[in-house]
Structure 1
Amino acid sequence: MAAALPLCVIGAGQIGMRHIEVAQTLPDVALVGVVEPDAARRADLAALGLPMVADVAELPQGTKAAIVATPTPLHFRATRDALERGMGVLVEKPIGASMDEAKALIRLAGSLGLPLFTGHHRRCHPFSIAARDRLAKIGKPIALQGFWSLRKHDSYYDVPWRRAPGAGPLMTNLSHEVDLLRFLFGNITEVSAMLSNAARHLRVEDTATLSFRFANGALGSFLISDAGASPWAFEAACGENPDLAQSGQDYIRATGTEGALEFPSLTLWTGTKGEPTNWKSPMTQVAGPQFGKIDPLREQMRRFAHVVAGGKDTLLCSADDGLAALEISLAATLSGQTGMPVRAGGVPGDYTGA
């Protein structure tokens, strides 16, 4: 049996703690360090037996891999420091705060010959993997509609950085949706957005509606809100996050020339066999396949460790795919601020959504 990979987690906030918990249960890795600059937080976690350090430079020699789970503005420095110390890195989404930051990290990883991935873990669900085969059954893709609306608890925005420009649901939540849409439907070439902060009156948006154009010619619409209560969201649909309530309701619908698909249940609608598929023929509903529940963060970490140890993986979100998801997320914010559509390639390199 191969030795466990020496791995660290940089950032011990809410998301960092999830990665720490996963690392402690995964035989493929050995958690050798947790980087947390806040002294009080570091002391509290050290009292629980975690291997705490204040800086990446204090990690044990031979640490091979890092999970970066800091707030977004600190992603660049933490990822750079880990790469420069010879570690493969999986950085939580987004890969950087700006296109310039993300591109610099990709260049650095390439020059050092080190793996760099972005933490878009939704790809790791078995129903996400199966969805692409299921989508092939609906013919030429025509359009999709998504609806993500979960009302965040009021104290969520007590944290100052969450009220700052660039920290609303577009950059915090939409980036996961963008990567998933690209994973399922292909590249996005253009986005238009309307933003609103009418619910909370903060400097960041609480609701947005978006229109997407895909490279394959399909169009998409998406509503995202962290102020509106609903059962429709990825997390509610599949119950992947134990802290959020589960509804089991689909939140994306896609249509093609030969049928339609609901996600994530993968309920398929097809035309009547032997008849042309059009509005005169009734459609047949076919239930989606059933899958065992997994922890996608655990599966993502397992795959990441496999690559750092010398293996191959085609499912994880590459740094380039993370860059593409960041670009469209920033483009959506820019479109909402300017009132104009933004095409891929139209986001300034230093733009952060502020």
Structure 2
Amino acid sequence: MTTPLPLCIIGAGSIGMRHVEVATASPHVEITAVVEPHAPRRAELAAQGLNTVATLDDVPAETRAAVIATPTQDHGASAHACLSRGWAVMVEKPTAATLDEARALVADAGAKGLPLFTGHHRRCHPFSIAARDALAEIGELVGVQGLWSLRKHNTYYDVDWRRAPGAGPLLTNLTHEIDLLRFFVGDMTEATALLSSARRGFVIEDTAAVAFRFANGALGSFLISDAGASPWSFEAASYENPAIAGSGEDYIRITGTEGALAFPSLTRWGRSGPGEIEWSKPLAPVPGQRFERIDPLLAQIERFAAVVAGGEDSVLCTGADGIAAMEMTLAAALSGKAGKPITPADVPGDYTGV
């Protein structure tokens, strides 16, 4: 790819500005405009030298792609509008406000033959890609165990909507983990969840324990909490988010018939000698490969640009992958309320988890 991809970024909030940051840093993309309806915010961005416009109608004609970082309720409308202009689309997670909207969006992109991706950027870390590849070395997959527990500061909840239904860690944070587990292991077919609000006492949960069934027969469990203090989370393990203290501790463990893998260190436990692998014989640890830290959003936008230029990519989260992550997140939410296992087919198309 020699010519930078001309793209616009829709939405200039915190996530939108991260996309502006990485697009500005990449030689493979060129920002044609930042779409922001709020006039005072447009003035601030213009003062920074950005071409800011109020609507999509004002975006320069040479634009060929868009990154959508608006509130979730707008994802569907903005994405359809971009597709109608013949643009490739990268929409922030979740793909849309409901499954019905997300499915219509994927169908629209498919009918038009245009790329549509969901912004699950954790896939783009080199250690995530390496973890997926390393699973072939531990035999047939048996189980996955994950623990994400970060205690959010008390003043985080001074904002009303953060205490309202839909804002708990299950819907806010678990979707990241579900997409990553699907990236590693494959499709999920069932979720069973227990919810608790015992520690913070809000209407929303502060802790959820979820069991998953995978299509390949493996089982999984995930404990997620914003009330429990711990060093175990993707952000702490990877040092990805400067606002969250790093620990370097693994937070996911995957077992197979021939060994086990810890993530994100990629430490692999396997055969220590000849004969059957069984519990009387110790497993030998093999340290994982070390990678330089990257900005995964930068890697994601450059992969996106390469696809728009005609390339292929097996890492980016497709629109269909984004729907699958939504389905299982909502299945877990519905299970927590219904008190029974829920499959993707059980989730109503207009269900929002509230």
The 2-side partners of 1:295 and 1:102 are apart by 27
Alignment-derived partner of residue 54 in structure 1? 54
Q: How big is the shift at 1:45?
A: 2.2
Is 1:30 paired with 2:30? yes
Identity of aligned residues (%): 61
The 1-side partners of 2:70 and 2:167 are apart by 13
Aligned residue for 2:292, secondary structure, equals coil
Q: How big is the shift at 1:91?
A: 0.7
The amino acid across from 2:144 in the alignment is: L
Distance 1:168 1:40, change over 3 A: farther
Alignment-derived partner of residue 282 in structure 2? 282
Aligned residue for 1:200, secondary structure, equals coil
Alignment-derived partner of residue 330 in structure 2? 330
Alignment-derived partner of residue 166 in structure 2? 166
CA contact (8 A) 1:270 1:285 kept: yes
Q: How big is the shift at 1:2?
A: 2.3
The 2-side partners of 1:184 and 1:286 are apart by 19
The 1-side partners of 2:205 and 2:81 are apart by 32
TM-score normalised by L of structure 2? 0.95
CA contact (8 A) 1:271 1:278 kept: no
Q: How big is the shift at 1:88?
A: 0.7
Q: How big is the shift at 1:126?
A: 1.1
Is 1:104 paired with 2:91? no
Q: How big is the shift at 1:336?
A: 0.8
Is 1:82 paired with 2:82? yes
Alignment-derived partner of residue 7 in structure 1? 7
CA contact (8 A) 1:6 1:63 kept: yes
The 2-side partners of 1:301 and 1:79 are apart by 17
Distance 1:181 1:16, change over 3 A: same
Q: How big is the shift at 1:55?
A: 2.0
CA contact (8 A) 1:253 1:262 kept: yes
Q: How big is the shift at 1:154?
A: 3.5
The 2-side partners of 1:164 and 1:2 are apart by 47
Aligned residue for 1:294, secondary structure, equals coil
Aligned residue for 2:277, secondary structure, equals coil
Aligned residue for 1:247, secondary structure, equals coil
| CA shift digits 1:40-85 (9 cap, x unpaired) | 3222222222222222222122211111112222211221222222
Root-mean-square deviation over aligned CA pairs? 1.6
Q: How does 1:110-125 map to 2 (within 5 A)?
A: 110-125=110-125
The 1-side partners of 2:58 and 2:164 are apart by 31
The 2-side partners of 1:161 and 1:35 are apart by 25
Q: How does 1:185-334 map to 2 (within 5 A)?
A: 185-334=185-334
Q: How big is the shift at 1:115?
A: 0.7
Aligned residue for 1:223, secondary structure, equals strand
The amino acid across from 2:164 in the alignment is: A
Distance 1:263 1:88, change over 3 A: same
Q: How big is the shift at 1:155?
A: 4.0
Aligned residues: 354
CA contact (8 A) 1:237 1:264 kept: yes
Aligned residue for 1:22, secondary structure, equals helix
| CA shift digits 1:288-331 (9 cap, x unpaired) | 11112111110100010111122222211111111111100111
| CA shift digits 1:115-134 (9 cap, x unpaired) | 10011111111111111232
Q: How big is the shift at 1:160?
A: 4.2
| CA shift digits 1:81-124 (9 cap, x unpaired) | 22222211111111112110100101111122211001111111
Aligned residue for 1:342, secondary structure, equals coil
Distance 1:31 1:158, change over 3 A: farther
Distance 1:53 1:152, change over 3 A: farther
Is 1:341 paired with 2:304? no
Distance 1:69 1:249, change over 3 A: same
Is 1:126 paired with 2:129? no
The 2-side partners of 1:73 and 1:180 are apart by 24
Which stretch shifts more, 261-270 or 235-244? Answer: 235-244
| CA shift digits 1:250-289 (9 cap, x unpaired) | 0001111121110010101113211321111111111111
The 1-side partners of 2:315 and 2:71 are apart by 25
TM-score normalised by L of structure 1? 0.95
CA contact (8 A) 1:275 1:281 kept: no
Distance 1:130 1:353, change over 3 A: same
Distance 1:202 1:85, change over 3 A: farther
The 2-side partners of 1:309 and 1:89 are apart by 13
